[in-house]
């Protein structure tokens, strides 16, 4: 049975757990600021760390900016331009960012002074975020985060129009060419998340979806950040903070998957069935899909079980099935540990949690090709429309000749001159002439 979005989002409670890194989030444009704000709003119960992350949000549209209402007091909003937006013009978005580059440099230095790693978050397609993403990369590289930043980029849905898709492809092309010199990239496929949410919430609203999707991205990243720092390994392998750091230092795409199952439904001898389930979730992904996983340079799988269940589940057979799956999926990966952990449950949580992370991937070819196909279709339609404008709709029409006798008649000849004071007398005389001609 296909794993549902609702089941995939189930996660272990990490609100009182440690984290591998103190993330900062630099959000650009409407989409980027919404996601960055949600990421920074993640709360924990750790003393003095209720909001462990920080965010700097930059936009050009005041109305859109007002919609973003951070709970985290460590989040800073900075409006650039006149507040009227960039109108999906990426050149304008870039220019407005450059005008305030010095001020943004100071804000970045101050805002992320305590951050171990900064994510540059951009919703591709609009004017502000898409236009300024390259400048945002420059800001981080020149202000102390050269090897300590990554990108979170959203891919537009196919229905968002020619301008949006063209904008996204322009920036993706530049980022792709420079990818080996950048940090890790997480792609958020809006089409994928939208379709999944709509299927499971057919009566839901667009506002509900946007709120949900932003939090979904935030929870997925926080989940990974806590799993790597909060548990002691049971076996010989450990996917800890140092291993996570290696992934964050690996250029290319990061792809991750997760799912949970009731421990009562898992038997140690069923490792094969759950490795198959994990493979399905890896292929589907949490935020995007369609990767060639054989290209992965780093891979890790983590499994968490309640202490009361771990001894029963963590057998040689269970582990070997998972190791075989990863070995056959990521042939070129230099490291691919399967790490086993125990957790103490205070909520009678009897779930077993599976996490997998792949780093160093190329862009998902099918998804990018689909965007390019949509762009070509728009261009073909636009070309056809331009040709239609040039076409003479009356080509081949032969104008009929007018009655030569009537060609020289003026308006006054036909209907009389309203300014003529004798028009009534003239009309009477004309009527008398007609009466005589027809013997009336």
Judge whether 114 lies within some domain.
yes
Task: Give the model's pLDDT for residue 2.
Answer: 38
Judge whether 399 lies within some domain.
no
Considering the domain architecture, whether residues 331 and 366 belong to the same structural domain is answered as: yes
What b/e string do you get for 176-193 counting C-beta neighbours within 10 Å, with b at 16 or more? Answer: eeebeebbbbbbbbbbbb
Q: Residues 29-72: pLDDT tens digits?
A: 999 999 999 999 999 876 567 899 999 999 999 999 999 999 99
Supply the range of the domain harboring residue 248: 234-377
Residue 401 has pLDDT above 60, yes or no: no
**Pairing, β 54-59 against β 184-189:** unpaired
Considering the domain architecture, whether residues 215 and 73 belong to the same structural domain is answered as: yes
Is the separation of the CB atoms in 277 and 342 below 8 Å? no
- CB under 8 Å to 293, separation ≥6 — which residues? 255, 282, 329, 330, 358, 361
Query: 189, 215, 230: which is the final residue of a domain?
Result: 230
Considering the domain architecture, whether residues 220 and 109 belong to the same structural domain is answered as: yes
User: What Cα–Cα distance (Å) separates residue 295 from each residue in 150, 244, 280, 333, 359?
Assistant: 19, 18, 18, 7, 9
Q: What global pTM score does this model have?
A: 0.84
Task: Give the model's pLDDT for residue 9.
Answer: 46
Is the separation of the CB atoms in 335 and 249 below 8 Å? no
Give the range among 91-95, 120-124, 233-237, 337-341 with minimum mean pLDDT: 233-237
Query: 179, 201, 230: which is the final residue of a domain?
Result: 230
Judge whether 204 lies within some domain.
yes
Question: Nearest Cα to 234, choosing from 335, 160, 168, 312?
Answer: 312
Considering the domain architecture, whether residues 213 and 288 belong to the same structural domain is answered as: no
Cα separation, 240 vs 220, in Å, equals: 17
Judge whether 334 lies within some domain.
yes
Question: Nearest Cα to 54, choosing from 80, 27, 31, 15?
Answer: 27
Considering the domain architecture, whether residues 339 and 352 belong to the same structural domain is answered as: yes
Judge whether 363 lies within some domain.
yes
> CATH number for the domain including 74?
3.40.50.1440
Considering the domain architecture, whether residues 153 and 294 belong to the same structural domain is answered as: no
Considering the domain architecture, whether residues 225 and 239 belong to the same structural domain is answered as: no
Judge whether 285 lies within some domain.
yes
Considering the domain architecture, whether residues 145 and 199 belong to the same structural domain is answered as: yes
Considering the domain architecture, whether residues 107 and 170 belong to the same structural domain is answered as: yes
Please tell me the total count of domains within the chain: 2
Judge whether 146 lies within some domain.
yes
Q: Residues 98-117: pLDDT tens digits?
A: 999 999 999 999 999 999 99
């Amino acid at each position: 049975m296909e794993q549902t979005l609702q089941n995939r989002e189930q996660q272990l409670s990490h609100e009182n757990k440690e984290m591998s890194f103190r993330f900062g989030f630099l959000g650009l444009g409407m989409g980027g600021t919404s996601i960055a704000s949600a990421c920074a709003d993640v709360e924990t119960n750790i003393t003095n760390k209720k909001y462990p992350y920080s965010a700097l949000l930059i936009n050009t549209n005041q109305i859109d900016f007002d919609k973003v209402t951070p709970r985290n007091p460590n989040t800073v909003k900075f409006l650039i331009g006149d507040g009227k937006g960039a109108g999906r013009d990426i050149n304008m978005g870039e220019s407005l960012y450059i005008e305030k580059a010095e001020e943004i440099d100071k804000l970045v230095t101050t805002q992320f002074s305590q951050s171990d790693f900064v994510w540059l978050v951009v919703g591709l397609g609009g004017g502000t975020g898409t236009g300024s993403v390259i400048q945002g990369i420059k800001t981080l590289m020149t202000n102390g985060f050269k090897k300590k930043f990554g990108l979170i980029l959203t891919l537009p849905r196919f229905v968002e129009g020619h301008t949006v898709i063209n904008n996204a492809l322009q920036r993706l092309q530049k980022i792709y060419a420079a990818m080996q010199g950048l940090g890790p990239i997480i792609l958020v496929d809006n089409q994928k998340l939208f379709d999944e949410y709509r299927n499971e919430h057919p009566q839901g609203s667009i506002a509900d979806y946007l709120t949900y999707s932003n939090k979904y991205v935030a929870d997925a990243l926080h989940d990974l950040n806590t799993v790597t720092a909060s548990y002691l390994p049971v076996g010989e392998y450990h996917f800890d903070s140092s291993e996570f750091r290696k992934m964050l230092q690996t250029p290319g795409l990061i792809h991750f998957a997760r799912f949970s199952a009731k421990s009562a439904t898992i038997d140690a001898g069923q490792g094969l069935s759950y490795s198959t389930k994990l493979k399905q979730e890896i292929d589907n992904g949490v935020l995007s899909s369609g990767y060639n996983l054989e290209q992965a340079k780093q891979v890790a799988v983590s499994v968490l079980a309640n202490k009361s269940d771990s001894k029963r589940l963590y057998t040689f057979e269970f582990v070997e099935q998972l190791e075989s799956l990863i070995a056959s999926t990521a042939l070129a990966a230099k490291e691919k540990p399967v790490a086993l952990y125990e957790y103490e449950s205070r909520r009678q949580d009897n779930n077993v949690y599976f996490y997998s992370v792949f780093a160093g991937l190329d862009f998902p070819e099918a998804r990018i090709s689909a965007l390019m196909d949509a762009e070509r279709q728009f261009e073909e339609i636009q070309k056809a429309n331009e040709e239609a404008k040039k076409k003479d709709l009356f080509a081949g029409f032969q104008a009929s000749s007018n009655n030569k006798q009537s060609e020289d008649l003026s308006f006054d000849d036909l209907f009389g001159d309203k300014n003529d004071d004798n028009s009534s007398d003239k009309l009477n005389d004309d009527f008398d002439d007609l009466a005589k001609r027809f013997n009336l």
